């Protein structure tokens, strides 16, 4: 089994390095295919490992080599494939394999084709390190690795100002959060003396509650950054500047769920501090609603999906915060499939519409793009949580968890959000695929994507449909390491009322969206309509003015402060000191240059002067030795 | 008035000072060599005097070696001086400035 | 008494001679004064009982070194007045006097004179030459031989340096000049 572990882990790295060989050369199809095939190898290995774990096999735990061993600190490059990490491995490898094959078509005309695959495979490798590591240090490496690859890929079209800006924003926001995470890791090491998950979690129950709370909070700050939770959420929507496959892989399916994975992984810790869990759940519920509301009015196809991702991450954190770790992980998995599918479909639409992102300028695309239409509709249905698609099982479960744990406010918020989710998903679908063919006004001739891209997407389609049926198998598997709490509403009647009520509510939201947006007569909003001038619309479409507030009240004062520091402290103190030292040395050299006139006579004079200096030193020291006793007496008298 | 070690040492330093004056003010390389001879000799006096007053022959030994070194220096120095004179037609110190920094 | 008279007399003479040697503007005067000073110094050696050293002083300095200098002076234009430096006289004299005072201070410091013991005490009843021979050929044999080799090297160096074509430095010549010299040599050989 170790062989498969190494294969799953290092095949993406090999692919990345292979593609990197072609980094500077023009598009080579090999540079795309080889990483994709290697990723498929990684996927097959992960599947074998999954089967191994499913059939009751032992957890695969290897220690590849020692990384750091100094004193009491011992950190190996250790990897573990247990029930949790194998789930993540499956999610990562499935989605990334699909995305890789899809990208071969999507990036077809891009100049940076080879570079793209190098980055993408490097990302998968980092993600695998993140999920497979058996200690916090390895997790942190993967954490930073995915951050780096995310930065590279968001800023992939680096000649675009907005792309580089978004890449830097994402990177800096993640840095802020990573600081919190690092402090959390230090706290773990400080208090338990180890970074290995097993030993660290075993040592935690003996610690004081305050320290555990701090640990939990700081680790969660890291998770907040990576999973774009409020208030560090703004980068995720801006990250849509990257190529769409990147959005599908990194900013929907894998990297942003790393925060959830961290909380799930650290479940023994969060079990000990339920009040932090409540905070996580409340924040998650808030973000779910908050992000969904922003998605309602947005006019950028990818941003809408990004906000929906944000909202779904909120759901996962609710589950994780309430202690239903396996539910969180299950929703993570189901969400990865249909959200990646949704993004890839959006990528097809973008291609067809020549990078047009405003769904109001599309409409009626279902004729031209039949398969994309089907896929995106299925993905949206799954996202909305209609029976029997994936979203129903996972999202309803989260609602039930909130209900059973008696957090009725969270429950109602999530229920309301579910309606919003259905509305904005189908608003998007209706605007893109139904109604009049508004794109004709813009002279666009849409065409369906390459066939192999559609085939590449099909596994996700199937998984989005059937993922829900794995629920019990999955539950049995994963509860070997996670708390096995089954969530059942005790009364059958209440259960049915809840389920059917939710379903009806969601279907009503869908119907409303269709009614409002699938009709003919939709025009491209130009800022004159009554709705657009409403206050709440403005607030929502400006993302609650949060980016504006950040810009005005954080970025600008910080920049001004930096300017002050630059001009006043750096230039006048630091630089001046350094320049001064250099100036003194330079000036000394300049002045003493005359000594080196090359004239022997002058040199002889200096030689004599030096002799006099040395002789006087000899006299002084001789006297000091001779009268050392007296000198000491005088010094002690002076109090030295 | 008894002549002691200090008398000799003072004499030695006076001669040394004269030598130093010569070293510093002479411009002609040949005369500069003369001044260095004075320096060496002043030290020889000090060695001989110390040897005498402490009843130890080491001082005289050193004086011998100093004389040997002085002789070598004269031989080599004069050779170089002749080479220099052939090349530049002068032995003025001020013309020797190829080592100017 | 006799010793004191001799000391002061010779001290005065030596200082005067050396003073002339460093101040005169005539190279020939300087040479003569230096030679005289050397001989007067040997007088101190005789007073101090270092007979052998005194003899060596006369032989080496007044004989060999002065002869060499005199010989060397034939190469140069010595009739001309030697130009003096125009530099600050006070610096020159000041530095010399200070260093002299410092040396005296060091020698007269009690810490130096108190700790000296004789390593090779003079042998009673033996003449100075014998004593010197004893020490020189036992304890100082190796330095003595090294000094001998050094003198040999210096001699060869003197001969070679004063020899033919030594005024040409390959490092200071450019390629063209080197080529010319080569051609000249070739012609001579032919």
Digit-coded pLDDT (tens) for A187-208: 998 888 888 888 888 888 888 8
Q: Is C99 in Cβ contact with A608 (below 8 Å)?
A: yes
The full DSSP string for A319-361 is: HHHTT-HHHHHHHHHHHHHHHHHHHHHHHHHHHHTTS---GGG
Is residue A99 a contact partner of residue A340, using CB atoms and an 8 Å limit? Answer: yes
If you count DSSP H runs as helices and E runs as strands, how many of each does chain C have, helices first?
9, 0
Longest dimension (CA), chain C: 75
Q: CB distance from B80 to chain A under 8 Å?
A: no
- The tens digit of pLDDT for each residue in A97-112 reads 999 999 888 888 888 8
- The tens digit of pLDDT for each residue in A616-634 reads 888 888 788 878 888 888 8
Integer-rounded Cα Rg, in Å, for chain B is 17
Looking at residue A432, the DSSP 8-state letter turns out to be H
ipTM of the complex: 0.89
Q: CB distance from B100 to chain A under 8 Å?
A: yes
Kindly report the backbone phi and psi dihedral angles of residue A456, in degrees, each rounded to the nearest multiple of 5, phi listed first: -60, -35
- The pLDDT value recorded for residue A581 is 94
Two tokens at A612?
């006099």
Q: Is B93 in Cβ contact with A601 (below 8 Å)?
A: yes
Residues C68 and B33: their CA atoms lie apart, in Å, by 12
Is residue A338 a contact partner of residue A383, using CB atoms and an 8 Å limit? Answer: yes
- Chain A hits for C109, Cβ within 8 Å: 619, 622-623, 626
In chain B, where the domains are located? 5-96
Q: CB distance from B88 to chain A under 8 Å?
A: no
What H or E segment, with its residue span, contains residue A81?
strand A73-81
Q: Is C111 in Cβ contact with A615 (below 8 Å)?
A: no
Neighbours of chain B (3+ CB pairs under 8 A): A, C
- The pLDDT value recorded for residue A365 is 81
- Chain C hits for A615, Cβ within 8 Å: 99, 102-103, 106
Q: Is A598 in Cβ contact with B98 (below 8 Å)?
A: yes
- Chain B hits for A600, Cβ within 8 Å: 93, 96
What's the mean per-residue pLDDT of chain A? 86
Closest residue of chain C to A627, computed from CA coordinates: C111
Q: Is A612 in Cβ contact with C99 (below 8 Å)?
A: yes
Residues C189 and C172: their CA atoms lie apart, in Å, by 25
Report the 10 Å Cβ neighbour count for A342.
30
Gap from C76 CA to chain A (nearest CA, Å):
20
- The pLDDT value recorded for residue C150 is 92
Q: CB distance from A607 to chain C under 8 Å?
A: no
Q: What is the mean pLDDT of residues A309-314?
A: 90
The full DSSP string for A235-278 is: HHHHGGGS-HHHHHIIIIISGGGHHHHHHHHTHHHHHH-HHHHH
Using DSSP, state whether B26 is helix, strand or coil. Answer: coil
Q: Topology of domain B5-96, per CATH?
A: Helix Hairpins (1.10.287)
Q: CB distance from C119 to chain A under 8 Å?
A: no
Q: CB distance from A611 to chain C under 8 Å?
A: yes
- The tens digit of pLDDT for each residue in A128-156 reads 999 999 889 889 999 999 999 999 999 89
Low-confidence ranges of chain C (pLDDT < 70): 77-87, 107-126, 164-172, 188-190
Residues C172 and A608: their CA atoms lie apart, in Å, by 30
Is residue B37 a contact partner of residue C34, using CB atoms and an 8 Å limit? Answer: yes
- The pLDDT value recorded for residue A234 is 86
N- to C-terminal Cα distance for chain C?
Answer: 75
What is the per-residue burial (b if ≥16 Cβ within 10 Å, else e) of A140-164? bbbbbbbbbbbbbbbbbbeeeeebb
Gap from A601 CA to chain B (nearest CA, Å):
6
- The tens digit of pLDDT for each residue in A468-519 reads 888 888 888 888 788 777 777 677 788 888 888 888 888 898 888 888 887 7
* pLDDT of A57 strictly over 90: no
Q: CB distance from B91 to chain A under 8 Å?
A: no
Cis omega (within 30 of 0) for bond into B5 = no
Residues A306 and A295: their CA atoms lie apart, in Å, by 8
What's the mean per-residue pLDDT of chain C? 80
Question: What is the CA A81 to chain-centroid distance, rounded?
Answer: 22
Neighbours of chain C (3+ CB pairs under 8 A): A, B
Gap from A616 CA to chain B (nearest CA, Å):
15
Q: Is C161 in Cβ contact with B83 (below 8 Å)?
A: yes
Q: CB distance from C28 to chain B under 8 Å?
A: no
Question: What residues contact B2, with CB distance under 8 A and at least 6 apart?
Answer: C4
Kindly report the backbone phi and psi dihedral angles of residue A365, in degrees, each rounded to the nearest multiple of 5, phi listed first: -80, -5
Q: CB distance from C93 to chain B under 8 Å?
A: yes
Q: Is B81 in Cβ contact with C85 (below 8 Å)?
A: no
Q: What pTM, to 2 d.p., does this model score?
A: 0.67
- The tens digit of pLDDT for each residue in C6-19 reads 999 999 999 999 99
- The tens digit of pLDDT for each residue in C64-73 reads 888 888 887 7
- The pLDDT value recorded for residue C166 is 65
């Amino acid at each position: 089994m170790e062989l498969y572990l190494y294969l799953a882990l290092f095949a993406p790295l090999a692919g990345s390095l292979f593609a990197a060989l072609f980094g500077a050369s023009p598009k080579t199809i090999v540079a795309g295919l080889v990483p994709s095939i290697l990723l498929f190898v990684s996927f097959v290995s992960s599947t074998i490992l999954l089967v191994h774990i499913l059939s009751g096999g032992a957890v695969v735990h290897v220690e590849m080599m020692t990384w750091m061993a100094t004193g009491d600190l011992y950190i190996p490059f250790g990897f573990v494939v247990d029930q949790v990490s194998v789930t993540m491995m499956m999610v990562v490898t499935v989605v990334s394999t699909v995305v890789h094959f899809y990208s071969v078509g999507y990036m077809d005309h891009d100049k940076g084709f080879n570079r793209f695959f190098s980055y993408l495979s490097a990302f998968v490798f980092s993600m695998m390190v993140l999920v497979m590591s058996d200690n916090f240090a390895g997790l942190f490496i993967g954490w930073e690795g995915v951050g780096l690859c995310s930065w590279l890929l968001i800023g992939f079209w680096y000649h675009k100002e907005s792309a580089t800006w978004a890449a830097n924003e994402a990177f800096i926001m993640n840095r802020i959060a990573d600081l919190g995470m690092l402090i959390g890791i230090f706290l773990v090491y400080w208090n338990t003396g180890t970074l290995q998950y097993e030993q660290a979690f075993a040592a935690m129950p003996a610690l004081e509650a305050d320290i555990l709370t701090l640990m939990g909070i700081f680790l969660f700050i890291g998770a907040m950054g990576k999973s774009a939770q409020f208030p560090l959420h703004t980068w995720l929507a801006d990250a849509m500047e990257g190529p769409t496959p990147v959005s599908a892989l990194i900013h929907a399916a894998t990297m942003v769920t790393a925060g959830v994975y961290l909380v799930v992984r650290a479940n023994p810790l969060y079990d000990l501090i339920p009040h932090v869990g409540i905070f996580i759940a409340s924040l998650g519920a808030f973000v779910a609603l908050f992000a969904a509301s922003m998605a309602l009015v947005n006019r950028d196809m990818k941003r809408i999906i990004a906000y929906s991702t944000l909202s779904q991450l909120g759901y996962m954190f609710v589950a994780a915060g309430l202690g239903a770790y396996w539910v969180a992980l299950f929703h993570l998995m189901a969400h990865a499939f249909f959200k990646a599918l949704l993004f890839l479909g959006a990528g097809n639409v973008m291609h067809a519409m020549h990078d047009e992102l405003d769904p109001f300028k599309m409409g009626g695309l279902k004729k031209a793009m039949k398969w994309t239409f089907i896929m995106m509709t299925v993905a949206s249905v799954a996202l909305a949580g209609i029976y029997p698609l994936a979203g129903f099982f996972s999202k309803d479960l989260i609602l039930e968890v909130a209900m059973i744990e008696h957090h009725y406010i969270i429950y109602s918020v999530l229920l309301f959000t579910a309606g919003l989710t259905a509305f904005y998903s189908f608003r998007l679908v209706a605007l893109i695929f139904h109604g009049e063919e508004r794109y004709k006004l813009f002279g666009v001739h849409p065409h369906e994507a390459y066939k192999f891209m559609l085939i590449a997407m099909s596994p996700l389609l199937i998984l989005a449909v059937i993922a829900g049926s794995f629920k019990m198998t999955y539950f049995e598997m994963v509860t070997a390491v996670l708390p096995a709490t089954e969530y059942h509403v005790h009364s059958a009647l209440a259960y049915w009322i809840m389920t059917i009520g939710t379903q009806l509510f969601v279907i009503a939201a869908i119907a409303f969206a269709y009614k409002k947006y699938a009709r003919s007569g939709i025009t491209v909003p130009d800022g004159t309509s009554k709705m657009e001038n409403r206050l709440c619309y403005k607030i929502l479409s400006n993302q609650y003015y949060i980016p504006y507030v950040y810009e005005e009240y954080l970025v600008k004062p910080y920049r001004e402060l930096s300017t002050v520091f630059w001009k006043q402290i750096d230039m006048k103190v630091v630089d001046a000191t350094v320049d001064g030292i250099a100036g003194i040395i330079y000036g000394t050299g300049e002045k003493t240059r005359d000594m080196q006139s090359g004239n022997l006579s002058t040199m002889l004079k200096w030689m004599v002067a030096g002799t006099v200096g040395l002789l006087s030193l000899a006299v002084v020291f001789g006297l000091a030795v001779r009268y050392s006793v007296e000198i000491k007496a005088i010094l002690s008298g002076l109090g030295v | 008035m008894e002549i002691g070690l200090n008398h000799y040492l003072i004499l030695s330093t006076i001669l040394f000072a004269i030598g130093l004056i010569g070293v510093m003010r002479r411009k002609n390389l040949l005369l500069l060599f003369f001044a260095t001879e004075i320096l060496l000799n002043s030290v020889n006096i000090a060695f001989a005097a110390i040897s005498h007053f402490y009843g130890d022959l080491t001082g005289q030994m050193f004086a011998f070696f100093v004389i040997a070194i002085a002789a070598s220096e004269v031989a080599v120095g004069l050779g170089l001086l002749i080479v220099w004179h052939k090349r530049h037609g002068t032995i003025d110190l001020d013309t020797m400035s190829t080592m100017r920094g | 008494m006799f010793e004191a008279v001799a000391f002061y007399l010779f001290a005065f003479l030596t200082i005067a001679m050396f003073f002339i040697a460093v101040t005169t503007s005539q190279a020939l005067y300087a040479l003569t004064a230096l030679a005289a000073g050397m001989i007067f110094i040997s007088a101190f050696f005789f007073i101090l009982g270092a007979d052998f050293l005194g003899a060596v002083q006369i032989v080496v300095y007044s004989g060999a070194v002065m002869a060499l200098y005199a010989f060397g002076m034939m190469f140069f234009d010595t009739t001309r007045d030697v130009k003096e430096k125009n530099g600050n006289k006070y610096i020159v004299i000041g530095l010399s006097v200070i260093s002299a005072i410092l040396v005296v201070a060091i020698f007269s410091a009690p810490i130096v004179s108190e700790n000296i013991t004789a390593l090779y005490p003079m042998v009673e009843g033996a003449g100075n030459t014998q004593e010197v021979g004893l020490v020189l050929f036992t304890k100082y044999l190796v330095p003595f031989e090294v000094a001998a080799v050094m003198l040999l090297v210096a001699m060869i160096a003197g001969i070679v340096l004063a020899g033919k074509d030594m005024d040409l430095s390959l490092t200071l010549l450019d390629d063209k000049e080197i080529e010319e010299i080569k051609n000249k040599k070739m012609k001579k050989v032919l």
